[in-house]
Each structure stands twice: as C-alpha cells, then as structure tokens.
Amino acid sequence: MEERVETVVIGGGAMGSATAWQMARRGRPVTVLERFTPGHLNGASHGASRNFNTAYAEPTYVAMLAEALSLWRELEAETQSTLLRQVGVVNHGANPSFDRVAAMLARVGLCAEFLAPEAAAERWPGIRFDGRVLFAPDAGRVNADAAVTALQTAAATAGADVRHSIRVQRLEVQGDDRVRVTHEAGTIIARRAVVTVGAWTSALLAGVIPMPRLTVTQEQPAHFALRDASPAAAAHAETEWPGFNHAPAWSDPRYGYWYSPVYGMYTPGQGIKAGWHGVGPGTDPDARSFQPEPVQLAALARYVREWLPGADPDTLEPVSCTYTTTADEDFVLDRVGPVIVGAGFSGHGFKFTPTVGRILADLTTGTAAAPPRFALNRAPNAAAGGWLSRR
C-alpha cells in the first residue's frame, strides 16, 4: 500500500514527538512512525528522570534552555501534566567553567549561586560535596516517560497522526519535495521527512545524506536505594533532593577509579540515580545486552559509598540506555533537501527536547535555519562550558 503525506517524522521518541507537536500546533499535517510500542525501553527517551541542568556557558545552549523552560510549561498546561520539577541542580568538583556559567546565566535571568561545601552539606546531607558548589535553583528534574506521552498526546490532539509498531526499512530522496519511505506494511511518499531515530540514525541515512560520525554506546547508570526507606524520607527526597553533577580532578589519585564525571538525581519510587557519562561499551542498537558492565558498576557503587551518604551502595537496580554521541558532543540539527535530521544528542539533550522540536519544525517548514553550531558539515565545536554544564 502506498500513501501520500505532507511530512513524515521517522522516530517517535522525545525529539520526534516534540517535532510533531510543534508541527501540528501550527496547523501543519504530520505523520509519526515509531518502530516500537509506547513506553518501550530500547532507545534514549525512557525512564522517569533526567536532569534539567541550566549550568551552560555557551550562548546558543543558554538561549535554548530559556526557551525550553517556557515550552515545558506550555506542554504541561496543554496536557494537564507535571513534567518538570524545579528541585535545582548542584554542580561541584574540579570544573573551571563555574564562573563563566554563573555569569552567562545571570545575563538571561536564570539563577546561579555559589555555596561553600559546608553550607551545601548542611542543606543537602545526602550528598558529600567536593569544593565550592554552583547551585542552579531554576534547574531540576524532567520525567522522561511522562514527557514523551505528553508530547504525543498534545501532537495528536492538534491533529498529528502518531503510529506505533511501524519499522521504517528504507528512505529514498526522489526530488526536492519528494521522499519515499518504505516500511514493513507499505510505502509513504512525503514532501518532507524528519529523521529522529537516535541510535539507528547512521544505518537509516547511510547513502542518503552525508552524516558525521555518530558513536552509539550502551550506558549503564543505576538507581540506589535511599538509606532511609521510610515514606517520609521518600516524600522529602522527591521535593528536596537536587540533581547533581560532580567533576573529578584527574591529577588527584583519589579519583583514579573514576571513568568520567558523575551525574545523578532522585527518581521518585526508584531511588538515587547515578551514572558515568558516555563511557559505556559501543553497541549495535539491535543487539544490545542490556546488562551492566560489572567493573564500571562496581566503581559506581564505590562512588555512591564515598560521595552519597544518603544512598545505599549495596542496594541498586541497573538501568540501560543508549547514547548517540558526536565528536564534539554537540547536536546535529540540519536539513539537506527534503530530509531534516535531529541526532547526536550525546547524553545531554533531553532537557532541550521542546526547543529541539521547534528547531526541527522550523527546518521542515523553511521558516528558520538551525544554529550553525549544529550543522552537519561543521568543524568540531569548542566545549559549551565544561562537562558539568552539559548534563
């Protein structure tokens, strides 16, 4: 069976769903093809928690953050849902970007304050702090699962056609305004195709448009139980435990067992989530083990034992997700002819989801160009403000 549509979005995770929402709310017809069933665990959009960390120093990202904060609130209002809780994020350790981050946030009206480690420990006794602390009170925690559901609900309410369990097999450019999409049940002819398939991007777009190298890894954070398992402690953690990012001083042997800086946050009902950033084994997204790498997991438990006194390092549940990472850890948001691509979110993209959807919708409709930082053919960009500013 062959059908014709205006715009097809291939991949209905966070970024594809956000694009459909933005397109549909503009009155533009859009069809979403998602390979898996709702709530699946195969990609990078599942789970109940992501840090909404505002500690960026690069102007493009800071502007996107300010927009994302507003759009998350719009989405919540449209869907009568709670997605973003501004419990704050604490950044500590050996990060030379702290002062730049604080200055940049002040320029756009986002809050940042420095705390001595003793003051931070008194306020958040579940975390042991490493040097001065940059606290971002406007930051917080996004419920990823609820966000994807809300985006698809809002998109469908505005007129989008959201389809699950449809695997796209091939994409062919047949003209400036014609793309042929072959899937398991037939074909679709579209004027525009938006590709937001995460770890499957390189395979789907091979030979279609020139793509930079995207590295796919299987990342293995874990949820650690609260030491105090009482309902009162869990209720307190839900509203008071901030997200956290911790950077090591690599020259100090105390950090010799670390694989990378550490990020984390409280996940309601699951405990304290902590993880290494972008150091998981390379993987084929269709042949993942979903099993944690035991040496990395043991090191993560050691981190929790040394730095998170409010969590139990011996009671944990591993989590599995994918990162699709570019060489400079910046996103790919660009258009070649009738194909628009959103990829390479490098483990720090979820907070920007509604802004990414707006950018991809602009590229699809031709109303605006993407920031040059995210071009397909860019030279590697300079860091956006240090690793801690990018989770």
Distance, CA of 123 to CA of 125 (rounded, Å): 6
Distance, CA of 138 to CA of 33 (rounded, Å): 34
Q: Residues 168, 79: contact at Cβ < 8 Å?
A: no
Distance, CA of 339 to CA of 208 (rounded, Å): 9
Q: Residues 367, 253: contact at Cβ < 8 Å?
A: no
Q: Give the per-residue pLDDT at 95.
A: 86
Other beta carbons within 10 Å of 340 = 26
Tell which residue, 299, 274, 314, 297, has the closest CA to residue 127. Answer: 274
Query: 327 burial class (0-12, 13-18, 19+ CB within 10 angstroms)?
Result: middle
Distance, CA of 371 to CA of 391 (rounded, Å): 20
DSSP assignment of 244-293: EEEE--TTSGGGTT-SS-EEEEEETTTEEEEEESS-SPB--TTS---PPP
Distance, CA of 330 to CA of 292 (rounded, Å): 26
- Give the pLDDT confidence of 105-138 residue by residue, as tens digits: 999 899 999 999 999 999 999 999 999 999 999 9
Range of the domain at 63: 2-390
Distance, CA of 119 to CA of 137 (rounded, Å): 15
Own/partner contacts of 202-209, CB < 8 Å, gap of 24 or more, are 204/10, 204/168, 204/171, 205/171, 205/339, 205/341, 208/171, 208/172, 208/173, 208/339, 209/173, 209/336, 209/337, 209/339, 209/341, 209/376
Helix H, strand E, coil C: the string for 107-157 is HCCCCCEEECHHHHHHHCCCCCCCCCEEEECCCEEECHHHHHHHHHHHHHH
Distance, CA of 101 to CA of 92 (rounded, Å): 13
Judged by DSSP in three states, 182 sits in strand
Distance, CA of 17 to CA of 162 (rounded, Å): 9
Contacts of residue 231, defined as CB under 8 A and 6 or more positions apart, other chains included, come to none
Which secondary structure element, helix H or strand E, spans residue 186, and what is its range? strand 186-195
- Give the pLDDT confidence of 241-289 residue by residue, as tens digits: 999 999 999 999 999 999 999 999 999 999 999 999 999 999 999 999 9
If one counts the domains in the chain, the total is 1
Assign residue 183 a region (left: φ > 0; alpha: ψ between -120 and 50; beta: otherwise).
beta
- Give the pLDDT confidence of 6-34 residue by residue, as tens digits: 999 999 999 999 999 999 999 999 999 99
Distance, CA of 327 to CA of 284 (rounded, Å): 18
Q: Give the per-residue pLDDT at 388.
A: 44
Spans in the chain with pLDDT lower than 50: 386-391
CATH number at residue 328: 3.50.50.60
Cα 113–Cα 56–Cα 264 angle in degrees, nearest 5? 80
Tell which residue, 319, 346, 317, 321, has the closest CA to residue 333. Answer: 346
Q: Give the per-residue pLDDT at 384.
A: 61
DSSP assignment of 315-335: EEEE--EEEEE-TTS--EEEE
Q: Give the per-residue pLDDT at 382.
A: 73
159 alpha-carbon distance from chain centroid: 26
Other beta carbons within 10 Å of 185 = 11
